[in-house]
Every structure is written in structure tokens, then in C-alpha cells.
Amino acid sequence: MSHYKSNLRDIEFNLFEFHKVQDYSTKAYEGMDENTMRDILSEIERLAREEYSAAYEDQDRIPLKLVDGEVELPESVKAAGRAFMEGGWDRLGLPAELGGIEAPPSLVWGVSEMLLAANTTVQFYTGGSLFARVLFEEGTEEQQELAKTWVEAGWGGTMVLTEPDAGSDVGAGTTKAYDQGDGSWHIEGVKRFITSGEHDMTENIVHLVLARPEGAGPGTKGLSLFVVPKYMVNDDGSLGPRNGVFATNVEKKMGLKGSTTCELTFGADEPAVGYLVGDKHDGIRQMFRVIEYARMLIGTKAMGTLSTGYLNALEYAQERKQGADLTQATDKTAPRVEIIRHPDVRRMLMTQKAHAEGMRALVLYTAWVQDQARMHPEDDNWERLNDLLLPLVKGYSSEKAFELLSMSLQVFGGAGYTQDFPMEQYMRDARIDTIYEGTTGIQALDLFFRKISRDQGATLASLAAQIVEFIKGGEDADVLADERVLLGEMLDDTQAHLGSMVEHLLASIGGQPDEIYKVGLQTSHLLESMAETVIAWLMLRQAEIVAPKVDEDPFYLGKLESARWFVRHAAPKAALRRATAEAEDGRLMEMPVGAF
């Protein structure tokens, strides 16, 4: 029986009833009409529920071993990967000139949710086409041909940033690149925590590696991006000799145990030959194209995992009988009822439901923004809005999903702590999400210091204006009138929270440098309030659509009630965070380390 339970109905609601992606110009996405997109989603849901789910326990419980620089994956993991690749799904969303199937990002992320939630490990191994796309769009003509070969052959790919001593401080990396004078470079150094750095899912793995050319300056500006294949590639696309990049360790981890997280050593015993991407030194910008996609991916993974966790808990709560109804608690002869009849269980279930649907709304709204950016490249406001939303998608979804997966497990009671149900594995596999691709603290700093400050808050102000317009748009008999008021209060509290941080920032610039600490102490709280304000806005917009239809389908009633629940419970938290930010005195930063 499959562990994975999709919410395909809600994915389709977001795409077709809320964002109406079926109305996009056929010129932009030839052949992607509504029936085709629904067929794709249906087939992916089957693949996730069957082949991907069938490998979920194996990837966790069959140990991976590094032997002579090679790792052999469980057969079920490779079978799931083959099913994905043979279906051509690795090409969904790629440009046609790269051999892809043109599709809007919103559809691609709807597909990704199901695959990532069913088996993240398999999806990691089959994600090489993402890296090939970056090489195709950033590379030289020769590298573009390599990218086409890469996609055609279905090779794996990696992003190689982190080093043992540098960690998240990417600019502190010491891996070196030496120009050989013939268009090739020799890469020397050690990288750590490289996802899918070694495996036998594909016959080749192509690494995108940040390294510092000999003589280059310090920090991230001195880094360049190199393409380094595991096996060299001949002019005709066939594989040549083994390159000098080897996995020298595979980490033993808390979760995602079937995903090889590798230490990669470059150029230890023989040269690791690489080629400068685009033949220009622009590494951090080029690599950030991968990083930002990965941040969206991890936020989507987190949301999808919470969704299936909730749906597993919901099913259990409707089957498990325990205790009498609270109205008959003193009657020892009262019949036992399904635990979904108990108020505290219902509270936990609705909390999970509302947040899973809210985070899906956030993810697919961000994907819709990416649709607009793709269709209207002349308008850079869409890219700016996407940039603003990404820290919310990644930072909020990863934090909240792990927190609420604990609640999913709680519904099962002691049974949830065992391997009889997938909950304990969900929690272990989700714990990394707040760390992947920049911790939540890094996302929050990025949000405040880069995404908001970069254009003096203009993009944020434009988004806030849309929220205000919605708040004012209700009719006299609006069933959401109270919730619109609460949304307005959330927006006011979040803007005041931001305002207090800006005051501290300006004070730090104006001669009181320690004031910057007060900003740093509140950035994560700001991210949370911003995310919940945007989610509340999206959920209420969706509730406005479903309100006239609640008698037609319980799904619509559920959407309405989850929106109400979310706003009513999120609004007081935004007010508390505002008060905390306004009262921030920075005292924590004055405390001596010995007092901790």
C-alpha cells in the first residue's frame, strides 16, 4: 500500500480554478491545453503513488556503501528513476531547443510537489536536466552541445559549492582552478555535502563546480563556475576516460539516507579537468540560477511532505476508535468513537490542513509569477516579485512543515513513532529542509537586506497594495468580512514590524553600529509574518472563489473553512511578532558567551 497520498484536487484547483493557467496563450506553450495538463498531472500522480512510493522504504533502510569510489543504489530506487526518465518527464519545462517539452513553471511545480513528496531521493538523482539547462543558457556553443548530449543521455548532475571549512560562507571557499592554456582548467580541492555526487543511477554525472581561479580575488566575486564531468565526453557524445573527481566519503545521515551526500575530492591523484562556463568569470551569478531553483524545490518538497503527512493522519483519525465522545466522557459505557470526533485531534488536523493548503497556495502563486516572468520578459517586475517570494517559499515552508509533521505524527499516538506508518521517516527526511540551500536565518537575512532593500521596498510595496485592494473589495454581505479585517491587521502589523527594523538599520548606518544586531534578532520573525500575510491573502482570494460553491462539493467547504482558520490563528501571531520587534533592546547580543 502506497505511503504517499496526493492532494491532486487542490493542485488542480490552484492551477485551473485560481490561476487559470489553461488560458495562457497557446503560442507560449504549444500543445499545453487543459486536458493535456490534467493528463500529465494524473500520470505523475500515478508514478508518485506507485513506482516512487515503492522505493521509499528501500532508500531509507538499505545502507549505501562507497566501494572503490562507486555507490550502488537499491534496485527499486533505480527502477523508479528509470520510470521517470523513460516517460520523458525529465524534459518537462525545458526549452524545445534543448529537447524539452515546453510547459509553464506552475505546471512543473505542481508535478514536482507529488514526486518530491513521494520520494525526494529518486527525484534528486533524476534532476540532471536542470543543471544541463543552466549550462545550455550560460555556456559557449560547444557547451550548449554538451548540454544537449547531457539531456539526451539522461545524465545526473550536481551543484558543488560547500567546502568543509567554509560551510554557508561560500565566498570563503579555497578550491582552486588552474588555467591550462588550451581552454581547459584543472580543479583542485575538497567539497562537502554534495547531493547525488556519486551513484549508479546514470552512466555519467556532470558537476557544476565553484572554484577560485589562480590569482582571483577573495570572496564570492572571485569565484568562477566550471563544468566537470565524472567521465570525459568525446566529440561524438560518447564517454571517454574517468576524470579526476572522486567521492571520498558518503555521509551517514538522519534522513534521506538513500540520497548520496558526498565529499568530492578534485585533482588528488590525477587532474580533474573542467571548463569555464560561458568562458567568462561570472560564477556566483551563474550558480545562483541553480541555487534559486533549489530553494524553490526545497520549499515545494517541504510543503508536499506536510500534505501527505496530514492526509495520512486524516485517514488514520477516521479509522482509529479510541475514547468516548467528549459529551459522554463520564459515561463509562459510552461507545468508543473515531478519534476525529475529539476536539484536540480536529484542532491538529485543521492546523495541518490549513497550512498545507496555504503553503501550496504560496508555492503555486510563486510559480504563477514565474509563468508571467517567462511570458513577459520585458517586464522585470515579475522577476523582482519572484525574488521577493523565494525566501518565503523556502524559509517558511521548511520551518512550518517540519513543525507540523510532528503534529501529524501526534495524531497517530505511539503508532506514529514506529515504522508501521511513514510518519517517523517523513520527519527525518524533512528535517534537512531548514538547512538545505541556506538556513532559515540566511533566507531571512536575504529577504531583508537584499530582496526588500535592493529596490527600497518598491516590490514589497506593490505586493502590499494588491493585498490592500483585496481587503477593500468585499461586499456588504461578504462572508469573509471579518477575515478581511484580520488580514488588514496582519498587513499593518507586518509593515510596522518592518518599519521598526528599518529604524534600527538607519541608526546603525548613522553612527550606532550595534543597532544592526536588533535587525538580525528579528529577521526570521519578519519572514514568518510576511509569509503568513501573503498566505492569508492567497487563501482568502481562493475562499472568495469557493464561497458560492460550498453546497456543491465538500472540497469547497473545506477550502473556505481552512482559509478562515488560517487567518484567525495567524493574525494574533503577527501582532505578537510586531510587539516583540518594537520592544527589541538588543540585550541578547550584550550577554557574555560564558553566560550561555
8-132 and 138-146+154-281: identical CATH topology: no
Active site positions, annotated: 437
Q: What is the DSSP letter of 336?
A: P
Cut 0.95: pTM above it = yes
- Domain 8-132 matching CATH 1.10.3470: the answer reads no
pLDDT more than 90, % of the chain: 95
**376-430 pLDDT, tens per residue?**
999 999 999 999 999 999 999 999 999 999 999 999 999 999 999 999 999 999 9
pLDDT value of residue 586? 95
pLDDT in the model for residue 244 = 97
Distances (CA, A) of 252 to 63, 237, 265, 528: 9, 35, 18, 31
Of 134, 154, 136, which is closest to residue 145 (Cα–Cα)? 136
Cα–Cα nearest to 431, from 255, 199, 207: 255
- What local confidence, expressed as pLDDT, does residue 181 receive? 96
Query: How far is CA 434 from each of CA 113, 141, 221, 301, 477, rounded to the nearest angstrom?
Result: 17, 38, 26, 11, 42
> Domain 138-146+154-281 is of which CATH architecture?
Beta Barrel (2.40)
Q: What is the pLDDT of residues 137-167, one digit of tens each?
A: 999 999 999 999 999 999 999 999 999 988 8
The domain locations on the chain are: 8-132, 138-146+154-281, 439-589
Distant-in-sequence, close-in-space partners of 101: CB < 8 Å, separation ≥ 6: 88, 91, 92, 93, 94
The angle subtended at Cα 440 by Cα 434 and Cα 443, nearest 5°, is: 130
Burial class of residue 219 (count of CB atoms within 10 Å of its CB; 0-12, 13-18, 19+): middle
Confidence (pLDDT) at 27: 72
